[in-house]
Structure 1
Amino acid sequence: MIITRASAMTALRQALSDNAATVLLGPRQIGKTTLARAIADERDGSVYLDLELDADVRKLEDAASYLRSTAGRLTVIDEVHRAPHLFAELRSVIDERRRAGQRTGEFLLLGSASLDLVQQSAETLAGRVTYLELAPVGPLEAQGAAIPIDALWLRGGFPDSLLAGDDGASLRWRKNFTRSYLEREVPMFAPRMPATTIGRLWTMLAHGQGSLLNAARLGQALAVTAPMVGRYIDLLADLLLVRRLQPWSGNLGKRLVRSPKIYVRDAGLVHGLLDIATLD
């Protein structure tokens, strides 16, 4: 079964037509690479680089020369957050191409961590970049693929989880997903933060899905300070795993001091963290 991400494809095509560079953000395994390859297949001569592969990293040892050699072709760079030095080179190449009349659809950059990537690109690519976030599969996309809404709610919108052979396989996929994030992504993006503690916090947030953030209570349960809880949540939000819903108030001053609500961003991950395997 194939889930058609038609709305995401349309948004990505529009972004590429608006600016020289597009940054596509989303957690791992959400479908960024599949979407990017589909877009690349539409354009003759597109170049795809994965910075988890040593061979592709070596191609960018002289990044300026290599990127200049791809003029006139869409260049897709996956895992771009692994090479922050590239952004300065990209700015130079984009400006050269602008002077030559090439102003849009030059680079598609994929990343799994929003804050660092947005900051890095904003510092050097201001006015040259469009940001898009790829969300989990939604109800309309599931309906288009004839997937029952109950299955989407239980398994969540990560394609591999949603399309698993049965509920048990889906739950195992989600548990392996959370484990890999704690063992790989947390040490990579925040080497000084204890992955075990962040995992416990992630589960506690799932238990309190949609409740007001009480950092002091969470900190007491985790034996850390409330500001440290805030930094842990910042990391989970940066990895696009949780969302802060800021309070609304007509008084901006009150809005800034009131507590937000915290949501784990995918229903399937909530159920995986809570070990809920079936609708029963």
Structure 2
Amino acid sequence: MTNRLTNRVTNRLLFSPHADDVVLSCFGALTPGATVVTVLAGVPEDPDVVTDWDRRLGAGSSRLLALQRLDEDAAAFAGTGVRLVAWPYLDGQYRTGPPDRAALLSDVRAQVAGADEVWLPAGIYAHPDHVLVRDAGLAACTEARRAGLDVDVRLYAEYPYQLYQMDDFHKAREDRGPYDWTNRGPRALAEWFRAEFPTARENGEEPAEVLLTREGAEAKDAAVRSHASQLGLLDEMVHGVLMEPENIGREYWWSATELTRSGGHR
């Protein structure tokens, strides 16, 4: 199902676990007046600490890289009319203990209260940070609906994690060549959604497919390239196809409003 998103939503709110997730995954939803919350935008205090992932990115200090990512995030949205909010929660690689789920839920609940439409990461490939944000968002939206607020909820397929899911799906069926990392065909995502959200039947498991216009794809390309610190390694992990126009010009999402009516996804 191909879907072009309406621009008539009064208050569209998108949650991005990390600085680049929304830009990579649902750029088509970034209309002027939308608000993006980068949830895990906290900066480690110790300038001498460098995590394995950050070291692979070429960083000598995780603190300095986290500060750089804040600047990259701001640059990606400059001039778009999108309001960017950065929260101080730490990325999972920087935490020394479990996340403060209660505090996060409280902040998400307050942010959701004024929204007409909320976009959350779907949690493809079970990245713990993405699942953390998704579940807090679903819980807050469930509470909002029970309180009488009419909020629509969307789950966006995270790029490039969806490429991993698609690759696994097609390798198991031997119907694609090795490393044919293309963002076409939602069957793999439908199968994942059916397993992850077995009670969701509102629109079936097939995701809506958004095809960006050429101008939209070019704008997305520029915004994604603002996150320069991450691109080299992300591209390497998907065998050099991260920025292929056909890949970044195609996005997927599901309606999750039914999940918030039923009180959860399990």
Please confirm whether the aligned pair reaches a TM-score higher than 0.5, indicating the same fold: no
Structure ID, larger Rg: 1
Q: Which has the higher contact order (CA 8 A, sep 6+)?
A: 2
Structure holding more helix per residue: 1
TM-score, normalized by length of structure 1? 0.27
